[in-house]
Amino acid sequence: MTTGETYPRDMIGYGRTPPFADWPNNARVAVQFVINYEEGGENNILHGDAASEAFLSEIIGAAPWPGMRHMNMESIYEYGARAGFWRLHRMFTERSVPVTVYAVATAMARNAEAVAAMNEAGWEIATHGLKWIDYRDIPPDVEARHLAEAVRIHTEVAGARPLGFYQGRSSLNTIRLGMEEGGFLYCADSYADDLPYWLEGPRGPQLITPYTLDSNDMRFVTAQGFNSGDQFYAYLKDSFDALYAEGEVVPKMLSIGLHSRLVGRPGRAVSLARFIDYVLSHDRAWTPTRLDIARHWIHRHPPQGGWKPSRLTRTLFIERFGGVYEHSPWVAAAAYDVGFTSEADTAEGLAKALAAAAAKGTEEQKKALILAHPDLAGRLALARTLTAESAEEQASAGLDRLTPDELAKFTALNEAYRARFGFPFIMAVKGKSKADILASFQQRLGNDPGVETATALTEIDRIAALRLEDILR
C-alpha cells in the first residue's frame, strides 16, 4: 500500500468530534426497536430455493438440505408468524412504544393480518428485501430486480411504499443498489457508527442509519451468544447505560434487533419487556422509529457541503423541502417534476422554482394552501402545535410573548379577518414587529376578497423564500 492509493473504506467517520444529535426533548439517547419479519420469506424449496433454511433458528449449526423440506426448521419459522409476532405486538402496543419492522416482502404477502396489525399500531414498515436469502453471490442485476419486486409487493400489501431499506444478508452491491433505487430516505446495511451518516451515492447524498448485530436477539442462537434472558437484558441495559451517560455531552442512538421466532419465545420475551420498561423509566430517552430518526437527521444535519437540490432524489427533496410551503408538499413535488438546474441550488433560484409551481396549482390546491396556515398568535400557537417553522417565525416577531391586551387584539382581528375572507391572515412576519403586523392586519381588512387572496398567496411565497434562506445559507 502506498500513501497515494485510494482506499474504498471510511475508517475515520466523525472522529473525535461527532455531531450533536439534538434529539427531541433534549434526549440523551434514541433507543430504536426493530422487529425483523422474515417468516415465510426464508429459504425453502416451496419458494423456489435450492435448499432449506439454515440460519437463525433453534437448530444451532443447521445445514441446508438441498432439494428437501426441513420440517423442523419450517415449524420454527412458523412459530414466529403464528405466535411470537403477536406476543411482541402486544408488548409494544401496550406500552405505546413504536417499532420499525424490517419486513421481507414475500413474508408480508403470506400474512396480511400481521401487516394490518403493524399499520394499525402506526409502526414503520421498512423493506427487508424480497426474500430472506444470502445475496452474497447474487448478480447485481438480479439483486436489483429483487429489490424492485420487493418494493412493488410491499407497496401493494402495506398500502405505502417503504422509505427504509435493510437487506441484511447483503452483497457488495446492496448499498449501491439501495441508493440507485432512489426512493429510500435511509439505508441500514451498515454497523459502522452510533449515529446516522451521509454517503455520496450515484443519485446524490444518501442517509445511512446504522443497525446492530450485538444488541440483537440473534445472539440467542449463535455461538458465544446469550444463554438466557438475563444475559440479554444485562447486555441491553449496559449498552443503554453507557450511551445514556455519554449522551449528556454527545447523544447517540441504540438499535435493538429482534425476531419474532427468537425473542418472541416466552422464556426470552420477559427479558425484553424488562428492558423496555427500564428505558421508559428514564425521562431523557427517545423511542422513535428509524424513519423518525432519519427525518430528524435530514432536517437538522445536512450532507457535507450543504443541500444541493438539483442533486437530490425526488423522495429526499420532498422530505427536506416539502414543508417550505406549509403542509403542502405538492408544491415541492410539482417543482421537482418540472426539473431543476444548478440555479435551484441557491435560495433565490429554488424560491423562484417553487413559486412557479405553486402558481400553477389548481384553485382547490391554492385554497387548501392558504387554509393550511395557522392564525397569527391563534389557538394553535397557544396550544404549541404549530410547525417548527411557524413557531420560530411567530416567536421572532414576539407573538409568543403577548400581553393580555395584545392577545385580545390579535384574537379579535383573527376573528374579524376570518369572518370577512374565510381564511387566516397570512403575513411573512420574520423581521416584523408586533406593531407592523397589527397595522397590516387593519389595512388588509379593507381589501377586496380577490385582492386579499392574491396578497395571501404572495405572502406565502415570501414565507417560503425566507425559509429557504435559512436552509440553504
353 CB-near residues (< 8 Å, 6+ apart): 335, 338, 340, 343, 344
Among residues 154, 158, 53, 147, the alpha carbon closest in space to that of 106 is found at: 154
Task: Identify the active-site residue in 89, 128, 154, 373.
Answer: 373
Quote the distance between the C-alpha of residue 248 and its chain's center: 24
Percentages (nearest 5) of helix, strand, coil residues in the chain: 50, 10, 40
282 is catalytic: no
Residue in this structure with the C-alpha cell 400557537, named with its chain if needed: 381
How are beta strands 124-127 and 100-103 bridged, if at all?
Answer: parallel
6 CB-near residues (< 8 Å, 6+ apart): none
195: cell is: 449515529
d(CA 125, CA 111): 14
DSSP 137: T
CB 177 within 8 A of CB 143: yes
DSSP letter for each residue of 35-61: EEE-TTSBS-GGGT-SB---SSSSSTT
CB 434 within 8 A of CB 406: yes
CB 463 within 8 A of CB 428: yes
d(CA 86, CA 178): 30
Task: Cite the beta strand spans of 189-297 per DSSP E.
Answer: 197-201, 204-208, 252-259, 285-286
d(CA 302, CA 282): 29
Residues labelled as active-site residues: 373
